[in-house]
Amino acid sequence: MPLSVRPPIQTLPSYSLTGDLLGFLRCGLQYRYSRLGKLPPSHPVQLWFGQFIHAVLEESYRQVKEKRKSLPPWSDPDLLEIFERIDRRLAARNIICWNEDSQKLGYSRATSAVNELGPLLFPLINQAEVRVRGARKLPAAIIKLLGRDMERYEMLGVIDVVTQVELFSPKHRGNKLLELMVEELPENPPDEFEVIVDYKGMKRPAQSEEGENVGLWEIYEWQVHTYAHLRSLLTTKPIIAGVVVYLNELVPTKSDLIALQIALKRRTSTKELLPELGSKDEALLRDWKFKEQPMPKLSRDFRLQRAIRVIPISPMSIRDSLNEFDGVVGRIEKCLMDEASTGKLISSWDRNATHEPTCAACDTRTFCPDFTTETSPRLPGFKL
Ligand code: SF4
């Protein structure tokens, strides 16, 4: 009797939404070194900040949920106790903020996130740190280009927060965050629905102009839609919106405010860059003489409006975002294939020098060809 041959074992390639797909979109070469090559960053300030503020928000929510504390605002000593505990936990994983000023700024943003955002967000939270996963079949056009036998891939992610919103619940009356969400929701939303919330340890990015490459504005939109898709596999509640929270906006730096003032004076910005200002905030910013005066104190509502971006979700927008990520998987696979076939690393990986802060924090910049073309050292009196 002929025995059938056991088919070769095939593992499904896994792609994490943040670590792989967003990492590659930020810059393929940096992704190759830091994620695939596992090179630790020499200045892990950005890594520290992202992990620190996520952990502080999660821990604060847990304390409220377990009724160990009432809703914030909390006193400085209470917050400091949480911050130091998180810092010790991160230090055990060798994630340390070596720069005192950055640590101070991180603490002050975390304070604002807990004390100003927390009272609005925590009552809406249904689940925090929700792990999601799902398999995707790659389109035939991408499969043809790949160097390995791969038809599907696995997508993994961790949603920071899933909120469960009951629109007409009296306990949410007057919640500014909910008001901001409702403004952007489609007409006649269901009475009960879920909203995906994702924290970003960065300032609100500008929307890409027409003809420009997609930037962080669009990429995070894809991410939220993809989370919505993966979450929909686990819940029966409709998911009609995502919220991205740009945490740096809660405590902007001087250079952030200068950039905002320029945008305000030019009035080139759309609502995405500069939401409607209250007249008081607008006057404060417009009249601020940054060389002579201290930074203006912008209202909480204005800072919240800058920090919160609501993204309506529809089946069509989910489908488009998933297609975009299929394309990214194809691009990563192609770079891997090129490196394996040519033996050359730098030229095989896509590079993206459009986001200045990413390049500024990148250890590869000393030998990255794209970085040097944009900011090559110039001798005084020489124009290259
Ligand atoms: S310097 Fe910029 S373009 Fe070059 S690898 Fe780093 S992030 Fe990418």
| Pairwise CA distance, residues 130 & 124, whole Å | 15
- The rounded Å distance from CA 370 to ligand 1 centre is 7
Buried b / exposed e along 59-78 (16+ C-beta atoms within 10 A): bbbebbeeeeeeebebeeee
Cα 44 to ligand 1 centroid, rounded to whole Å = 16
Q: Given the CA of residue 368, which atom of ligand 1 is nearest to it? A: 4
SS3 letters across 235-282: CCCCEEEEEEEEHHHHCCCHHHHHHHHHHHHHCCCCCCCCCCCCHHHH
Element (H, E) at 101: helix 100-112
pLDDT given for residue 208 in this prediction: 72
For residues 196 and 126, is the Cβ–Cβ distance under 8 A? no
Q: Which atom of ligand 1 sits closest to the CA of residue 353?
A: 3
The answer to whether residues 177 and 113 touch, using CB atoms and an 8 Å cutoff, is no
For residue 369, which atom of ligand 1 is closest to its CA?
A: 4
**Residue pLDDT tens, the chain, 384 long:** 888 888 777 678 899 999 999 999 999 999 999 999 999 888 788 889 999 999 999 999 999 999 999 999 999 999 999 999 999 999 999 899 888 999 999 999 999 999 999 999 999 999 999 999 999 998 888 888 777 778 899 999 999 999 988 777 788 888 888 888 888 887 788 888 899 999 999 988 877 776 666 788 899 999 999 999 999 999 999 999 999 999 999 999 999 999 888 888 776 544 445 555 557 888 888 889 989 999 999 988 889 988 999 999 999 999 999 999 999 999 999 999 999 999 999 999 999 988 888 888 899 888 899 886 555 554 444 433
Ligand 1 geometric centre to CA of 355 (Å): 9
Closest CA to 204 of 217, 190, 191: 217
359 lines ligand 1 (CB under 6 A): yes
- Report the sign of the C-alpha dihedral through residues 117, 120, 122, 128, in that order: negative
Short-list 376, 337, 336, CA closest to 359: 376
How high is the pLDDT of residue 380?
47
First to last CA, the chain: 76
pTM above 0.95, yes or no: no
Q: Helices 100-112 and 76-92: crossing angle, nearest 10°? A: 120
**Helix, coil or strand: residue 311:** strand
Question: What are the C-alpha distances in Å from 305 to residues 56, 83, 121, 246, 255?
Answer: 21, 26, 14, 10, 19
231: CA distance to ligand 1 center in Å? 33
Closest CA to ligand 1's atom 3: 353
Domains of the chain: 14-252+298-360 (3.90.320)
Q: Is 30 in the pocket of ligand 1 (CB under 6 A)?
A: yes
Q: Which atom of ligand 1 is nearest to the CA of 359?
A: 2
Answer left, alpha or beta for residue 260, where phi above 0 means left and psi between -120 and 50 means alpha. alpha
Are 207 and 272 within 8 A, CB to CB?
yes
pLDDT at 383: 39
Neighbour count for residue 196 (Cβ, 10 Å): 27
Q: What is the 3-state secondary structure (H, E, C) of 184-223?
A: HCCCCCCCEEEEEEEEECCCCCCCCCCCCCCCHHHHHHHH
Q: Are 28 and 350 in contact (CB under 8 A)?
A: yes
